[in-house]
């Protein structure tokens, strides 16, 4: 097919960002509609990619390759495997919901001498992030990937610092200071990770002579490129450090609660359900494929860090008083499961990790967006300021409950399948790690059910007695997400069929096979 479908999928939201930003400030409603139309067009292209992709048709498909910076061996190379296709589809699916959920989040608001930034800037920045994330999933040139891996930090910085959450317990001046702190912390953490990765990217070029992921991986597989053991390990650590910051993995996680707490709910979803997935995706695509021996060498330490993330994130979620920070710490715990599944080096673990990326995006989006609707009604993020909401807004409470139950991986909802596969895949090779990680399930039930109990049940507090239920726009946001959580919880096969062949290729890259069962099946 001559049409550059992958390029179009990334370029369309970029054009949408420019067009939206160019809309006059007085036409902010037109800017919103224009951004939504571009996001829906991107979703249509992502569906076309999904339809064109053949899970059994080879590793990288719909490829594009053009000379770019020839003197340094940099090419504009794109291609998708099953894992990338699933994440491109997830990104394109969530952006329209994020835009709809944030429909009024950047409306002009006078606060003394200050005024919120123009509405069109908010929507343009979201589309810009979408374009960069999609290109990150599609890039098969390491340098091209690095450019967009870093470039997405700039619009995210402005989304956090310039369009932060208006609900704050200590007044607008303190809120503005906290937003600035969260935005700078997000930027500095990720820039440091990116600079270390840049050194590793340069080192990879010195060793391999080019930046093509496919050529380097092929040379490593056939033995024509033999890296010294120490060289491979240092390069792996440079890449992994940047991805662990983005993911985020303990102890590099501390920027996430601040960023999600101070950002608007839709931007918080953009961070954890979309942007952070680039980190775990890159571990599969780059760390395991380019540095297989170093990946196996680092596995024990990474698994320990992943388990710490699972337990630590869940424990801190239990003790949170802020709804959005609770979801942030829960996400740290969930990313621990994803990273544990990747480095368990089993097909079940990696399939579960990939499914977890998709399912976590859906469940976190559902829970956080409903939490955002709740917070916008009350004007507070504190759990103690709520009570009895289910009596006055039953539909809001019901969708909040489904999002929470998905977060704790209740059987019948999408995250259960992925979490189960991760635990099974980990236990078959590292039983002690798998056993300890199950504590995260217990803690997830605790922080989710306690959150629901304190906010939705009990006597109706006077401040929430007149709270309206979900409106039509809000139902259009959470309704499809709830349906997807149920459908993929009951029937995950469509997504599994797409990602499993890519997982087998990744297992082959690291020369690993699943452990044989200790007990033979009965004949």
If you write DSSP's letter for every residue of 100-111 in order, what string do you get? Answer: HHTTTTTS--EE
pLDDT of residue 169: 42
- Mean of per-residue pLDDT scores for the chain: 87
Q: How many CB atoms lie within 10 A of CB 329?
A: 24
Question: What letter does residue 81 receive in the DSSP assignment?
Answer: -
How far is residue 145's CA from residue 151's CA, in Å, rounded to a whole number? 10
HSE toward the beta carbon, residue 486, CA cutoff 13 A: 8
Read off the pLDDT of each residue in 477-494 and give the average, rounded to a whole number. Answer: 92
Residue with tokens 């760390």: 287
How far is residue 262's CA from residue 272's CA, in Å, rounded to a whole number? 13
What stretch of H or E contains 74? Answer: strand 74-80
Residue 363 near residue 400 (C-beta atoms within 8 A) = no
pLDDT tens string 357-412 = 999 999 999 999 999 898 888 888 888 888 888 888 899 999 999 999 998 889 99
Residue 12 near residue 45 (C-beta atoms within 8 A) = yes
Return the axis-axis angle of helices 119-138 and 82-101, rounded to nearest 10°: 170
Could you state, in order of their start, the residue ranges of all structural domains in the chain?
5-509
How far is residue 429's CA from residue 207's CA, in Å, rounded to a whole number? 33
What stretch of H or E contains 68? Answer: strand 61-69
Q: How many CB atoms lie within 10 A of CB 283?
A: 24
How far is residue 97's CA from residue 87's CA, in Å, rounded to a whole number? 16
Residue 408 near residue 322 (C-beta atoms within 8 A) = no
pLDDT tens string 74-111 = 888 999 988 999 999 999 999 999 999 988 877 766 54
**Angle formed at CA 139 by CA 331 and CA 363, multiple of 5 degrees:** 20
What stretch of H or E contains 52? Answer: helix 28-52
Percent share of the chain, pLDDT over 70: 93
SS3 65: strand
Read off the pLDDT of each residue in 284-298 and give the average, rounded to a whole number. Answer: 89
For residue 257, report the phi and psi dihedrals to the nearest 5 degrees. -60, -40
């Amino acid at each position: 097919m001559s049409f550059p479908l992958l390029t179009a999928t990334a370029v369309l939201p970029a054009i949408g960002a420019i067009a939206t930003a160019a809309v006059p400030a007085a036409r902010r409603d037109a800017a919103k509609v224009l951004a939504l139309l571009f996001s829906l067009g991107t979703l249509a292209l992502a569906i076309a990619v999904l339809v064109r992709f053949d899970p059994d048709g080879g590793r990288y498909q719909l490829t594009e390759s053009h000379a770019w910076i020839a003197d340094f061996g940099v090419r504009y190379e794109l291609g998708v495997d099953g894992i990338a296709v699933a994440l491109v589809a997830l990104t394109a699916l969530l952006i329209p919901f994020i835009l709809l959920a944030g429909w009024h989040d950047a409306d002009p608001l006078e606060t003394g001498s200050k005024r919120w930034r123009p509405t069109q800037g908010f929507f343009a920045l979201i589309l810009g992030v979408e374009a960069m994330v999609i290109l990150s999933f599609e890039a098969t040139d390491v340098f091209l990937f690095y450019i967009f891996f870093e470039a997405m930090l700039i619009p995210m910085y402005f989304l956090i610092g310039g369009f932060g959450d208006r609900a704050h317990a200590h007044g607008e001046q303190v809120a503005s200071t906290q937003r600035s702190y969260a935005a700078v912390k997000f930027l500095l953490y990720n820039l440091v990770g990116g600079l270390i990765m840049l050194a590793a990217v340069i080192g990879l070029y010195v060793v391999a002579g080019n930046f093509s992921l496919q050529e380097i991986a092929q040379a490593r597989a056939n033995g024509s490129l033999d890296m010294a053991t120490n060289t491979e390990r240092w390069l792996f650590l440079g890449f992994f450090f940047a991805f662990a910051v983005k993911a985020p993995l303990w102890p590099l996680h501390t920027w996430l609660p601040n960023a999600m707490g101070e950002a608007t709910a839709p931007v918080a979803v953009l961070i954890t359900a979309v942007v952070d997935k680039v980190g775990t995706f890159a571990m599969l695509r780059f760390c395991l494929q380019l540095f297989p021996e170093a990946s196996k060498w680092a596995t024990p330490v990474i698994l320990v860090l992943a388990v710490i993330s699972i337990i630590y994130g869940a424990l801190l979620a239990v003790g949170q008083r802020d709804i959005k920070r609770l979801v942030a710490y829960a996400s740290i715990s969930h990313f621990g499961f994803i990273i544990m599944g990747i480095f368990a080096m089993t097909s079940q673990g990696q399939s579960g990790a990939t499914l977890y990326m998709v399912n976590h995006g859906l469940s976190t989006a559902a829970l956080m967006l409903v939490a955002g609707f709740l917070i916008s009604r009350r004007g507070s993020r504190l759990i103690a300021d709520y009570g009895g909401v289910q009596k006055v807004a039953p539909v809001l409470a019901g969708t909040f409950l489904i999002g929470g139950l998905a977060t704790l991986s209740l059987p019948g909802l999408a995250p259960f399948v992925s979490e189960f596969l991760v635990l099974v895949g980990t236990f078959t090779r590292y039983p002690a790690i798998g056993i300890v990680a199950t504590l995260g399930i217990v803690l997830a039930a605790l922080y989710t059910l306690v959150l629901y109990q304190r906010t939705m049940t009990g006597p109706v507090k006077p401040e929430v007695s007149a709270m309206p239920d979900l409106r039509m726009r809000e139902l259009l946001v959470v309704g499809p997400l709830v349906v997807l959580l149920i459908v993929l919880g009951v029937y995950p096969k469509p997504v599994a069929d797409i990602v499993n062949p890519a997982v087998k290729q990744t297992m082959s890259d690291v020369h690993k096979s699943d452990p044989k069962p200790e007990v033979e099946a009965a004949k």
